[in-house]
Amino acid sequence: MSDKFLIKGLNNKKILSGKIRVNGAKNAILKAIASSVLFEDGFKMTNIPAIEDVKRMFEIVGKLGVKVEKTGGENYSIDTKKIKGTDLDREIAERLRASIVLTGPLLARFGKVSFPVPGGCVIGARAIDFFIEGFEKMGASIEFKNNRYLIKAKGKKLKGMEMFLKAPSVTVTETFMMAGILAEGKTILKNTAQEPEIKHLADFLISCGAKIKGAGTTQIEITGGELLKGKNKIYKAIPDRIETGSFLLLGSLCADNLEITNCDPDNVGILISILKDAGVPLEINKSSIKIKNNSKIKNKEFKSVNIKTKEYPGFPTDLQAPMIIFLTQATGESLVFETIFEGRLNYVEDLVRMGADIRMLDPHRVIVKGPSTLRGRNMESPDLRGGLAFIIASIIAKGESIIENAYFVDRGYEKIEKRLRGIGVDISRISND
Ligand code: EPU
């Protein structure tokens, strides 16, 4: 059984203060780890938080023969000289959706890969049809046997291809951007996702010899070739924009003065603009954001706002849950439209039990009416982003809450209780060991 969190609510007082540092970005790091199988020797990684998803990703490449060594603090050394397998471990792949991005690089480098239907957070259908289409376009054959996909390159190498993505999927963009690096000829991807993690991955791979143009835009061109050997190759993770946004929302609700450090405000542009509009006193610096003298403003004075989740630079689906907590405290009605995943609003039932006034219109849309007083409860983390939203809700609530299934939160946020205690939150972990 997983640990749980015990939280004593602040009953709407804005008293948190101090500094909270943002860690390296989970969804960037997982892809950089996947890219390791493209390399003949390896590279170094830095700014890597000890979160469960990163541990699982290291484990899954470890099972393929990649040697991962912690060299101290948040630094790792990755040695890919002895890769011996191309079959993704069933147990890990079924739990970690990000493992699917390994398929492109493995197929490109070794001409074959096998993997089970990937899992991850239960937030929607999460199909893999675009992946299959891309593999076929690169000249691979597809078989489905014993609940596993077996993909084989027909020639010695994958062929470059042109693909128009039917939706700008993050992992599909990353998978084929990486596959294109070792393919023959040119790969042109259209309607690609523009999330900052994609350009960041491309920049790292370009520094290692890859020929990629257009990452971060809606069209990416990759010219097949080889990656550099020997050079001192270093991957440094960008700050996590979802962690940044979650701390911003928490701070807006219950901090007086709070500084969010080591972040990139540009990558949470839409949230900053919405919060400023709602009336949150923010000061934006190059790599930090300050919430200043916030206790002077009553939450009741925050204005409601309609939110529609969208691909970057639109409002991130990964911040939808903490945003809803904010909206329960703003005055007026807000319509929240989750356009990316259909299972990502189910957790609102628990918020209603806490006292929130939220009406579900359909699986994609809810109306939040605020402000309302939330009361502490016992709850279970529904997924990693929902779990953090429950922590925020419990912090502003009246009374005590217990949040079961801390593992989900640990998947994406390192030692969250310790970091939140550092800014004044009364939170502890109850271990089940
Ligand atoms: N889609 C298909 N077919 C496919 C692939 C995707 O129909 O073959 C659809 C999905 O069902 C979804 C849409 O395309 O409706 C977009 O999903 P996308 O593929 O972009 O999501 P993802 O790549 O699986 C990543 C993040 C998610 C984040 C989304 C959206 C990783 C490992 N995961 O998922 O992060 O919510 O992009 O930004 O990068 C999280 O960190 O908690 C998380 C769920």
Mind listing the pLDDT tens digit for each residue in 374-414?
A: 999 999 999 999 999 999 999 999 999 999 999 999 999 99
Q: Is the CB of 170 under 6 A from ligand 1?
A: yes
Query: Model confidence at 2, in pLDDT bands (50, 70, 90)?
Result: confident
Summarize the confidence of residues 252-278 as an average pLDDT.
97
pLDDT averaged over every residue in the chain = 95
Residue 431: per-residue pLDDT: 92
Residue 126: per-residue pLDDT: 60
Q: 56-65, 228-237, 418-427: which has the minimum mean pLDDT?
A: 228-237
Q: Which two structure tokens, joined as six digits, stand for 374?
A: 């939330």
Mind listing the pLDDT tens digit for each residue in 339-355?
A: 998 889 989 999 999 99
Instruction: Give yes or no for a cis peptide into 168 (omega within 30° of 0).
Output: no
Residue 186: per-residue pLDDT: 98
Mind listing the pLDDT tens digit for each residue in 322-344?
A: 999 999 999 999 999 999 988 89
Summarize the confidence of residues 243-262 as an average pLDDT.
98
Alpha-helical (H) ranges within 65-215 are 90-95, 103-110, 129-137, 170-181, 196-207
Model confidence at 61: pLDDT above 90: yes
Model confidence at 231: pLDDT above 80: no
Separation of alpha carbons 432 and 49, rounded Å: 23
Ligand 1 atom closest to the CA of 123, numbered from 1? 44
Separation of alpha carbons 152 and 141, rounded Å: 5
End-to-end CA distance of the chain: 8
Model confidence at 87: pLDDT above 80: yes
Measure 6 CA to ligand 1 centroid, in angstroms: 31
Q: What percent of the chain has pLDDT over 90?
A: 91
Count of alpha carbons within 13 angstroms of residue 192, beta-carbon side: 30
For Cα atoms 339, 359, 342, give the angle at the middle one, nearest 5 degrees. 25
Q: What is the DSSP letter of 111?
A: S
Mind listing the pLDDT tens digit for each residue in 120-150?
A: 555 455 688 999 999 999 999 999 998 899 9
Q: Show Cβ contacts of residue 120 under 8 Å, excluding neighbours closer than 6 positions.
A: 95, 96, 97, 98, 126
Summarize the confidence of residues 36-63 as an average pLDDT.
97
30-56 as b/e, with b when 16 or more CB fall inside 10 Å? bbbbbbbbbbeebbebebbbebbbbeb
Residue 119: per-residue pLDDT: 63
121 is annotated as an active-site residue:
yes
Model confidence at 232: pLDDT above 90: no
Mind listing the pLDDT tens digit for each residue in 109-124?
A: 999 999 998 765 554 5
Q: Which residue has tokens 């409601």?
A: 304
Q: Is the CB of 320 under 6 A from ligand 1?
A: no
Residue 101: per-residue pLDDT: 97
Residue 117: per-residue pLDDT: 80
Q: Is the CB of 317 under 6 A from ligand 1?
A: yes
**Residue to substitute in 132, 340, 345, 408 for testing ligand 1 pocket (most ligand atoms within 8 angstroms of CB):** 340
**Selection from 146, 40, 150 nearest residue 86 by Cα:** 150
Q: DSSP for 303-330?
A: BP--EEB-STTSB-GGGHHHHHHHHHHS
Query: Model confidence at 103, in pLDDT bands (50, 70, 90)?
Result: very high
Q: Show Cβ contacts of residue 362 under 8 Å, excluding neighbours closer than 6 positions.
A: none
- Secondary-structure breakdown of the chain: helix, strand, coil percentages, each rounded to the nearest 5: 35, 30, 35
323 to 32, 195, 272, 402, 410: CA distances (angstroms): 28, 19, 12, 21, 20
| Phi/psi of residue 264, nearest 5 degrees | -120, 95
Q: Is the CB of 128 under 6 A from ligand 1?
A: yes
Separation of alpha carbons 45 and 79, rounded Å: 11
